[in-house]
């Protein structure tokens, strides 16, 4: 593991959330929507990335779940994350080199030095537009011309839909937090609550505009989970290989239908670096 000594400027509550260590198995738990997110993101990446052994910089790569999978596919993978626990966990994955760093300032990566930048998480936590543009600008800078920038965002109405599906929207204290987040995208959790951590929820057109502003246009957009993450049977359907294939095929067919993009929990935005 290669750890930079510079401490990234991460909000203490975001650091505390990730220090709970929930990322390592979030995408493989049988309950919840992480398994669908993981299957679909891998499916989309498989159809989007250049072939191995392209060099992938996984910015905000967490504990290295995607990085490990990419390394198994033959990609060369470097991971950057501001949470020391994540860097330690990711650095243990075969074929993954991990270091501390921040999406807004990838100072130890040279211009045009990688084939792919993944931002599968940092934009969830940057509430200011200038910070998000800085992260996208850095992704553009370090990607070679013709390379690919891929960013995941949390959709603006995900928390509303999730809380309705789970019934917690009917709790007034939760509803206040959720309604505020749907207004302007800024999710500000109650200090004593269990409302995720400080986050930003994008409208699909907003992240497309930010890509363009950062010099990453035109972009393509894909709903990662579509509306299937809200269906009560999806988690158990994923235990059945035949149903899983049918579900994945349906989501592939509908992944870029404009009227469905915002129904997904997460959105993937992809652009070629010009
Ligand atoms: C929800 S996790 C996603 C982890 C992994 N990419 C995945 O998709 O499973 C969000 C990640 O973004 C990282 N992160 C938060 N703020 C960041 C920043 N300013 N720069 C880079 N990464 C950041 C967190 O440490 C965390 O690992």
Residue 66 lies in a domain: yes
CA of 23 to the centre of ligand 1 (A): 9
Q: Is 23 in the pocket of ligand 1 (CB under 6 A)?
A: yes
Residue 76 lies in a domain: yes
Structural domain of 127: 12-155+202-272
Residue 4 lies in a domain: no
**Mean pLDDT to the nearest integer, 192-203:** 90
Q: Which atom of ligand 1 is nearest to the CA of 103?
A: 20
Asked which of 90-94, 187-191, 198-202 is least confident by mean pLDDT, the reply is 187-191
- The predicted-structure confidence for 53-70, as pLDDT tens digits, reads as follows 999 999 999 999 999 999
- The predicted-structure confidence for 66-75, as pLDDT tens digits, reads as follows 999 999 999 9
Quickly state the pLDDT bin for 7 (edges 50, 70, 90).
low
Is the pTM higher than 0.85? The answer reads: yes
What's the mean per-residue pLDDT of the chain?
95
- The predicted-structure confidence for 82-137, as pLDDT tens digits, reads as follows 999 999 999 999 999 999 999 999 999 999 999 999 999 999 999 999 999 999 99
Q: Is the pLDDT of residue 175 over 50?
A: yes
Residue 247 lies in a domain: yes
Residue 113 lies in a domain: yes
Residue 256 lies in a domain: yes
In DSSP notation, the chain reads ----SSPP---HHHHHHHHT--HHHHTT-SSSSHHHHHHHHHHHHHHHSPPTT-EEEEET-TTSHHHHHHHHTT-EEEEEES-HHHHHHHHTSTTEEEEE-BTTB-TTS-TT-EEEEEESSGGGS--SHHHHHHHHHHHHHHEEEEEEEEEEEEETTHHHHHHHHHTGGGSHHHHHHHHHHHHHSEE---TTS-S-SSEEEE-HHHHHHHHHHTT--SEEEEESSTTGGG-TTHHHHTTSHHHHHHHHHHHHHHTT-GGGGGGSSEEEEEEE--
CA of 235 to the centre of ligand 1 (A): 24
Domains: count for the chain = 1
Residue 195 lies in a domain: no
Residue 129 lies in a domain: yes
Q: Which atom of ligand 1 is nearest to the CA of 41?
A: 8
Residue 45 sits in a domain whose CATH number is 3.40.50.150
């Amino acid at each position: 593991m290669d750890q930079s000594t510079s401490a990234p400027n991460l909000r203490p509550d975001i650091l505390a959330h990730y220090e709970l260590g929930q990322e390592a198995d979030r995408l493989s738990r049988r309950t919840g929507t992480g398994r669908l997110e993981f299957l679909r993101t891998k499916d989309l990446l498989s159809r989007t990335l250049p072939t191995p052994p392209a060099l992938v910089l996984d910015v905000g790569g967490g504990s290295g779940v995607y990085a490990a999978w990419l390394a198994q596919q033959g990609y060369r993978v470097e991971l950057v994350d501001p949470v020391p626990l994540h860097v330690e966990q990711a650095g243990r994955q075969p074929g993954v080199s991990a270091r501390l760093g921040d999406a807004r300032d990838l100072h130890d990566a040279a211009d045009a030095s990688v084939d792919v930048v993944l931002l599968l998480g940092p934009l969830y936590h940057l509430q200011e537009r200038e910070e998000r543009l800085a992260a996208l600008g850095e992704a553009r800078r370090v990607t070679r011309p013709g390379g690919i920038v891929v960013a995941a965002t949390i959709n603006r109405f995900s928390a509303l839909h999730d809380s309705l599906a789970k019934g917690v929207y009917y709790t007034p204290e939760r509803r206040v937090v959720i309604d505020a987040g749907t207004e302007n995208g800024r999710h500000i959790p109650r200090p004593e609550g269990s409302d995720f951590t400080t986050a930003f929820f994008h409208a699909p057109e907003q992240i497309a505009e930010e890509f363009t502003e950062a010099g990453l246009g035109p972009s393509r957009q894909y709903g990662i989970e579509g509306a299937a993450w809200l269906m009560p049977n999806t988690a158990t359907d994923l235990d059945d290989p035949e149903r899983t294939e049918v579900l994945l095929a349906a989501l592939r067919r509908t992944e870029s239908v404009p009227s469905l993009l915002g129904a997904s929990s997460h959105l993937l935005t992809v652009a070629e670096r010009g």
